[in-house]
Amino acid sequence: MASKTPVGFIGLGNMGNPMAKNLVKHGYPVIAYDVFPEACKEFQDLGAQVTESPADVAEKADRIITMLPSSPNVIEVYTGANGILKKVKKGSLLIDSSTIDPAVSKELAKAVEKMGAVFMDAPVSGGVGAARAANLTFMVGGVEQEFDAAKELLTCMGSNIVYCGEVGTGQAAKICNNMLLAISMIGTAETMNLGIRLGLDPKVLAKILNISSGRCWSSDTYNPVPGVMEGVPSANNYQGGFGTTLMAKDLGLAQISATNTKTPVPLGSQAHQIYRMMCAKGYALKDFSAVFQFLREEETF
């Protein structure tokens, strides 16, 4: 195990923390950095080397994973005054697992390439639980010859590593999936609500949809109506799961990509607006299936 070469990890938040721990578990010496020093303490105790800046990480490791909240953070970590690019070594492999605008991934890839290194985007699906269980799905974009090298690391943290195509397509796949997910979740919520209003038992309606052409993951695996399924957020007052504010963020990325490529996304765009309105009405931290609750009429006056 001691013979493994170090891996840099930048961004030790809710998701980055368990991901980096899984690298440690697999015997990789981890070179850690987070903008909040307290996020690193735990890793010091685990034997990781904690550094002062992304540039320091780049000096000490030639494989680096970044897991950050949004585009500006990623840009800062790469191109800032003490950013990775200040000290990145030739031949380094830089993997960004943040969910950001694919256009930003492409720009970073160009800057990294100029330094003689390789950039891949590898956003994840699956939440904190999947991160802990090393059960994430990684959608990977970048040069195909480097995919195996990336996969070696990503398999420590995920169970499903999918090659999507050139740089940026990992992000594209992620935001496409989440846009369709948002659409079908809202669709399921309004359909179930309408059916209930028309006299259908929600369990009966879910059963019919799930053997018919209306079937989707939101209806058969993550039904938003309380009482229809066990073990999903709708069974637990929409606690846990995937927060409405995070879904709104991903829909914002989809919208920006669609606008920039002049792609009509009439329902994706409306889904974005609905999740934004929900954030404005107190649903930001509830699971995104709470759209059922948002749409459900309570016209009591």
* 208 touches a second copy by CB under 8 A: yes
Q: Is residue 12 part of an annotated ligand binding site?
A: yes
3-state secondary structure of 227: coil
Q: Is residue 30 part of an annotated ligand binding site?
A: yes
3-state secondary structure of 95: strand
Instruction: Give residues with Cβ within 8 angstroms of 122, minimum separation 6.
Output: 95, 96, 97, 138, 139, 140, 141, 150, 154, 170
Could you tell me the smallest distance in angstroms from the CB atom of residue 177 to a second copy? 4
Span between the terminal Cα atoms of the chain, in Å: 67
* 14 touches a second copy by CB under 8 A: no
Among 139, 153, 157, 229, binds a second copy (CB under 8 A): 139
Site string for a second copy, 66-105 (x = CB under 8 A): ------------------------------------x---
Which one is catalytic: 41, 110, 174, 203? 174
DSSP state of 61: -
Instruction: Give residues with Cβ within 8 angstroms of 167, minimum separation 6.
Output: 105, 106, 109, 119, 120, 121, 141, 142, 143
Q: Is residue 275 part of an annotated ligand binding site?
A: no
H or E element in which residue 277 lies:
helix 266-280
Burial class (CB in 10 A: 0-12, 13-18, 19+), 264: exposed
Could you tell me the smallest distance in angstroms from the CB atom of residue 213 to a second copy? 5
Token pair of 69 as six digits: 């909240």
Q: Is residue 9 part of an annotated ligand binding site?
A: yes
Amino acid of residue 137:
T
Among 168, 224, 233, 241, binds a second copy (CB under 8 A): 168
Q: Is residue 133 part of an annotated ligand binding site?
A: no
What does the alpha-carbon distance between residue 107 and residue 168 come to, in Å, rounded to a whole number?
Answer: 9
* 53 touches a second copy by CB under 8 A: no
Could you tell me the smallest distance in angstroms from the CB atom of residue 78 to a second copy? 18
The interface with a second copy within residues 270-289 (CB under 8 A) comprises 270-274, 276-277, 279-282, 284-285
Site string for a second copy, 98-137 (x = CB under 8 A): ----x----------------------x-----------x
* Binding site, annotated residues for NAD(+): 5-33, 68-69, 73, 99, 249
* Binding site, annotated residues: 5-33, 68-69, 73, 99, 249
